[in-house]
Amino acid sequence: MGFLHRHRWLTPYGLLAAGLGWLAVFFVVPMYYLAATSLKSGDIDFGYAFTWAWGNYAHALGRYQEQLLRSLEYAGIATLAAFLISYPLAYWIAFRGGRWKNVLLLLVIAPFFVTYLIRTLAWQTILADDGPVAGFLRTIGVLGADGRLLATSFAVVAGITYNFLPFMALPLYASLEQVDKRLVEAAEDLYASRPVAFFKVTFPLSLPGVFAGTMLTFIPAAGDFINAQLLGTPQQAMIGNVIQSRFLVLNDYPEASALSLVLMLAIVGIVVVYARALGTERLGT
C-alpha cells in the first residue's frame, strides 16, 4: 500500500499542485513585483525606490488616457468583427462540415504555422499603398486617389481581427458542435421557422462559446502592440505600444507597471460586466 493509496483524499490536491505552482510562479509573483514597481519612484540611473508613489497612476492615466481608450475601442471592434466572421464559419463547419470538419478546422488554425510577426508584416504588403487591395478600392472609387489603407485605424483593426480570428472561431465551433441537432428539429416541429429556431435554440446554446471566444479575442487584443506598430502610425498607438516603450525603451518601470495594472483592471471590469450581461441573457427567454 503506497502513501497516495492510503491518503486518497490527497489525489485531487496532488493533481492541482502543478497548476497552482505554475500560477504562483508565473502570475502571483510577477503581479506582486508589478504592483510593487508601480509604486516606486526614482530613475534608471540612480535606481527606483518603493515610496507608495500613487502619483504614477494619476500621471499615467492623465497622459495616456487616449491610448487606453483607443485600445479598448480597437479591441472591441476587432472582437465584434472576428465574431461576425467566425460565427457563420464555425456554424457551417459544425453543421455542414461532415467528414471535412477536421480539415476545415486545420485550415482555420493554419495561419498559426507562421510567426505572428511575419503574418502581420505580410499585411503591410497586402494593405500597401501600391498593393492589390488599395488598388482595387481606388478603382471602384471606395478609396480616393491618394487614399491609404496602411497606416490607418482600419489597418490596425483589420490586423488584430485577422490575427485573433482563430481564438474566436475555435470556441464557437466547440460549442456549436455540441448543440444537439435534434433540438433544432424540435423547434421546427413547434412552429419555429429556420431563422427563429436559430435565434431561440441554436444561438442561446452556443453562448458559452460566444463568451469564451470574445474573451480570448478581446483580452489579448486590448494589450496588443504589434499590429499598431506595424500597420499603424503613432496616431494609432495603443496602450500596449506605450507600455512597451516605457518598459523597454525609456526604462520607466514604475509608470509602465502602473499602466499595465490599469489596463488589467479595465479588462477585468469589462469582463465582469459582460459576463453578467450574458449570464442574465441565458437565464431569460
Site for other proteins in 204-233 (CB under 8 A): 204-205
From its phi and psi, is residue 284 left (phi > 0), alpha (psi between -120 and 50) or beta? beta
- Residue in 105, 201, 216, 238 binding other proteins, rule: CB under 8 A: 201
Q: Least Å distance between CB 171 and other proteins?
A: 18
Q: Least Å distance between CB 180 and other proteins?
A: 7
Nearer to other proteins, 39 or 172 (CB): 172
Asked if residue 66 binds other proteins (CB under 8 A), the reply is: no
∠ CA 221-222-227, rounded to 5°: 55
User: How many positions of this chain bind other proteins (CB under 8 A)?
Assistant: 20
The SS3 of residue 41 is strand
Q: Least Å distance between CB 200 and other proteins?
A: 8
User: φ, ψ for residue 41 (rounded to 5)?
Assistant: -135, 165
- Crossing angle of helices 253-283 and 55-96, in 10° steps, is 40
Closest by CA position to 42, among listed 196, 195, 255: 255
Choose the binding region for other proteins from 159-167, 183-191, 214-222, 232-240 (rule: CB under 8 A): 183-191
> What is the DSSP code string of 47-80?
EEEE---THHHHHHHHHHHHHHHHHHHHHHHHHH
Asked if residue 190 binds other proteins (CB under 8 A), the reply is: yes
User: φ, ψ for residue 97 (rounded to 5)?
Assistant: -65, -30
CA 260 to chain centre: 16
Q: Is 133 exposed, middle or buried, given 0-12, 13-18 or 19+ CB atoms closer than 10 A?
A: middle
Asked if residue 172 binds other proteins (CB under 8 A), the reply is: no
- Residue in 80, 85, 143, 183 binding other proteins, rule: CB under 8 A: 183
Nearer to other proteins, 186 or 265 (CB): 186
Nearer to other proteins, 7 or 194 (CB): 194
Asked if residue 182 binds other proteins (CB under 8 A), the reply is: yes
- Residue in 39, 82, 187, 256 binding other proteins, rule: CB under 8 A: 187
Nearer to other proteins, 96 or 282 (CB): 282
User: What residues pair up with 50 in beta bridges, in sequence order?
Assistant: 40
Task: Give me the residues that bind other proteins (CB under 8 A), please.
Answer: 180, 182-183, 185-194, 196, 200-201, 204-205, 282, 285
